[in-house]
Chain A
């Protein structure tokens, strides 16, 4: 259960990054929300107040044009009397700066027509938080119109405080969310990381545990498991090859070596030496053929050879193979019966299929007794419900056949039935056929050619799907 710290760190990094990203997103959304809220409340209040002041001032300036300073002073007096909340601020002075009307004690520091000023001003001797607009009158007098903003500032402070505390809560929530996201990620990815770490340390039997939710993480786990199964298969293949090499190549190599050794030590004349050398070459050629076949089977079993797949008709291929081996059969005075009716459409590797047929026919001719019979038959089976259409190709002989135990083992590399010990062969023929069949999505079946009779003979049947098999996972 110990994952390597580096893997954990890498995962922690990704988890933290993801979580931080979500937290940041959450915060940005919060800030945007607060800004909109602020503009819609405090900002709107300010804008409304400014607009009212501006309209009030404009009205008073208009009044000045109609009735002079006295009319303005009167209007100011009326407005102050109507202002129950005591918020309105006014100041009217003549050109000399003498106050004519209003509740402000002085003009403050504002400069120029249309200038705003804020901050504390003296109102009837008391300080007041004010926002004031200054208008210059045509006679050189000064008009200030404003509002007391004490209450509004209190409201604004309250609002800011509320927003700040909710921002703090949002930050906390964001951090909590980030932590939860990271925890969840770790919980889902942790088992996969542990499995990968265990496998990296050599335990190929481990698989990623899956949850019942069948989500994306399970998809990842499933893919990883499929990959691990495949790796396992390949490893088995490699192991199989090394076993095979250890098991069956050493013997002929040792034999060839001994023969050469012996010839070198004791050959009396050149003819004997030459014969030994020639035999050595034959031995080496055999060894390299076995080697090639072993590699080829491994390659096929790894499913790595589909480059040469193409649509083809199996019928002429079967006829060609039969024609080649008919000659061998004839030498052994056997009859080779062929009943092939085409077309037999298939997607596959022409040379490999031919090799498989060659191996089957070669076996049949080898094991059928002199004067015996070999049959090659083919048919296109009707489609089974749900299954692909199958091609059936069978080669049967009148030889000794295989008993059930031998049949189960035939197709294992280098397996040779007891009866076959005296016949030449590497014991690789059927495993190659089996591998070729598997590569084409089909299978090889072995049965008695004539059940119940003695000898039963052997019938080797290839079942190949007509459609192209999907590549192995």
Chain B
């Protein structure tokens, strides 16, 4: 993926460039909003990672507003030290697609960038999801593994659906809270882990190959290979 990083803090920029580079992405970097806007408007990128506050008169929100006004639809992830929910809402209203508060774990950033960069396929909406021998029927809302029906509660169904739609991709705990429960909050404890492990009990118990894997320091992934 080609990623444009607009970040004025040299240390954060180095850290993000290195990390994304190691994950196999091409990263262009500019240290101020003006250059960033120029690059973003003139070259094709898969994802823009923008600091919310930038020097040079063009901050992250202005940059996105200008890009969107020009018809550039590249997905945007905001990085910000401003944690206030109002700030998040402002960033998303301006045309941002995701918002990550500093300090962040690099895995969280990587997962989100990759999720943004994956363009939705133009296929008709799937009615069945499948990972190895695990199958999910979105119409009858049933889950089977190896042909055997597994009873899941509605929320577990949504949790599994989100993981299976992103099979092979790491999904972080915060992303699950946002996408499956649709709340932005700090759960205080590892309550998401509890939900995932309950789901795992139902999906993986009694089968040789576990499908739900924990990724250290990041989150969860559903995939056939360990």
The residue from B83, B187, B191 contacting A292, defined by CB atoms under 8 A apart: B83
The reply to whether B155 and A288 contact each other, CB–CB distance below 8 Å, is no
The reply to whether A358 and B188 contact each other, CB–CB distance below 8 Å, is yes
> What's the minimum C-beta distance from B203 to chain A, rounded to whole angstroms?
16
- Convert B63-84 into 0s and 1s, putting 1 for each residue whose CB lies closer than 8 angstroms to a CB of A: 0000000000000000000011
The reply to whether A328 and B186 contact each other, CB–CB distance below 8 Å, is no
The residue from A288, A354, A359 contacting B183, defined by CB atoms under 8 A apart: A354
The residue from A284, A308, A331, A355 contacting B185, defined by CB atoms under 8 A apart: A355
List the B side residues contacting A352 at CB < 8 Å.
85
Dominant secondary structure at the A interface: helix
List the B side residues contacting A325 at CB < 8 Å.
191
**How many angstroms between the C-alpha atoms of A467 and B66 in the bound complex?**
39
The reply to whether A331 and B194 contact each other, CB–CB distance below 8 Å, is yes
The reply to whether B195 and A362 contact each other, CB–CB distance below 8 Å, is no
The reply to whether A307 and B183 contact each other, CB–CB distance below 8 Å, is no
- Convert B184-198 into 0s and 1s, putting 1 for each residue whose CB lies closer than 8 angstroms to a CB of A: 111111010011001
The residue from B83, B89, B105, B187 contacting A358, defined by CB atoms under 8 A apart: B187
**How many angstroms between the C-alpha atoms of A278 and B105 in the bound complex?**
12
- Convert B121-132 into 0s and 1s, putting 1 for each residue whose CB lies closer than 8 angstroms to a CB of A: 000000000000
Closest to A285 in B: B105
The reply to whether A307 and B189 contact each other, CB–CB distance below 8 Å, is no
Interface-facing stretch out of A44-52, A58-66, A80-88, A293-301? A293-301
User: Is A425 an interface residue, CB under 8 A from the partner?
Assistant: yes
**How many angstroms between the C-alpha atoms of A429 and B101 in the bound complex?**
20
The reply to whether A350 and B83 contact each other, CB–CB distance below 8 Å, is no
User: Is B86 an interface residue, CB under 8 A from the partner?
Assistant: yes
User: Is A239 an interface residue, CB under 8 A from the partner?
Assistant: no
The residue from B89, B105, B181, B217 contacting A324, defined by CB atoms under 8 A apart: B181
List the A side residues contacting B147 at CB < 8 Å.
none
The reply to whether A288 and B185 contact each other, CB–CB distance below 8 Å, is no
> What's the minimum C-beta distance from A281 to chain B, rounded to whole angstroms?
8
**How many angstroms between the C-alpha atoms of A299 and B195 in the bound complex?**
31
Dominant secondary structure at the B interface: loop
> Which of A296, A299, A305, A355: most chain B Cβ within 10 A?
A355
**How many angstroms between the C-alpha atoms of A349 and B86 in the bound complex?**
11
User: Is A74 an interface residue, CB under 8 A from the partner?
Assistant: no
**How many angstroms between the C-alpha atoms of A424 and B187 in the bound complex?**
13
- Convert A331-367 into 0s and 1s, putting 1 for each residue whose CB lies closer than 8 angstroms to a CB of B: 1000000000000000001111011001100100010
> What's the minimum C-beta distance from B54 to chain A, rounded to whole angstroms?
22
User: Is B206 an interface residue, CB under 8 A from the partner?
Assistant: no
CB contact under 8 A between A308 and B89, given known A293-B186, A325-B191: yes
Closest to B182 in A: A320
User: Which parts of A368-402 form the interface with B (CB within 8 Å)?
Assistant: none
The reply to whether A351 and B188 contact each other, CB–CB distance below 8 Å, is no
Closest to B154 in A: A323
User: Is A408 an interface residue, CB under 8 A from the partner?
Assistant: no
The reply to whether A359 and B155 contact each other, CB–CB distance below 8 Å, is no
User: Is B226 an interface residue, CB under 8 A from the partner?
Assistant: no
> What's the minimum C-beta distance from A410 to chain B, rounded to whole angstroms?
16
List the A side residues contacting B187 at CB < 8 Å.
324, 358, 362
> What's the minimum C-beta distance from A283 to chain B, rounded to whole angstroms?
12
> What's the minimum C-beta distance from A137 to chain B, rounded to whole angstroms?
94
The reply to whether B184 and A351 contact each other, CB–CB distance below 8 Å, is yes
User: Which parts of A257-291 form the interface with B (CB within 8 Å)?
Assistant: 278, 281, 284-285, 288-289
**How many angstroms between the C-alpha atoms of A351 and B182 in the bound complex?**
9
List the A side residues contacting B89 at CB < 8 Å.
307-308
User: Is A184 an interface residue, CB under 8 A from the partner?
Assistant: no
The reply to whether A305 and B183 contact each other, CB–CB distance below 8 Å, is no
List the A side residues contacting B105 at CB < 8 Å.
281, 285
**How many angstroms between the C-alpha atoms of A340 and B189 in the bound complex?**
24
CB contact under 8 A between A320 and B181, given known A359-B188, A425-B188: yes
User: Is B146 an interface residue, CB under 8 A from the partner?
Assistant: no
**How many angstroms between the C-alpha atoms of A327 and B187 in the bound complex?**
13
The reply to whether B195 and A327 contact each other, CB–CB distance below 8 Å, is yes
Closest to A366 in B: B189
The residue from B83, B86, B195 contacting A307, defined by CB atoms under 8 A apart: B86
The reply to whether B186 and A327 contact each other, CB–CB distance below 8 Å, is no
User: Is B103 an interface residue, CB under 8 A from the partner?
Assistant: yes
Closest to B103 in A: A288
Interface residues of A (CB under 8 A from B): 278, 281, 284-285, 288-289, 292-293, 295-296, 299, 305, 307-308, 320, 323-325, 327-328, 330-331, 349-352, 354-355, 358-359, 362, 366, 424-425, 429
A288-B103, A324-B195 known; 6 new pairs, CB 8 Å cut-off, are A308-B86, A324-B191, A351-B183, A352-B85, A358-B185, A366-B189
Between-chain CB contacts (< 8 Å), 12 pairs: A281-B217, A285-B105, A295-B83, A320-B181, A325-B191, A327-B194, A327-B195, A349-B85, A354-B185, A355-B185, A362-B191, A366-B189
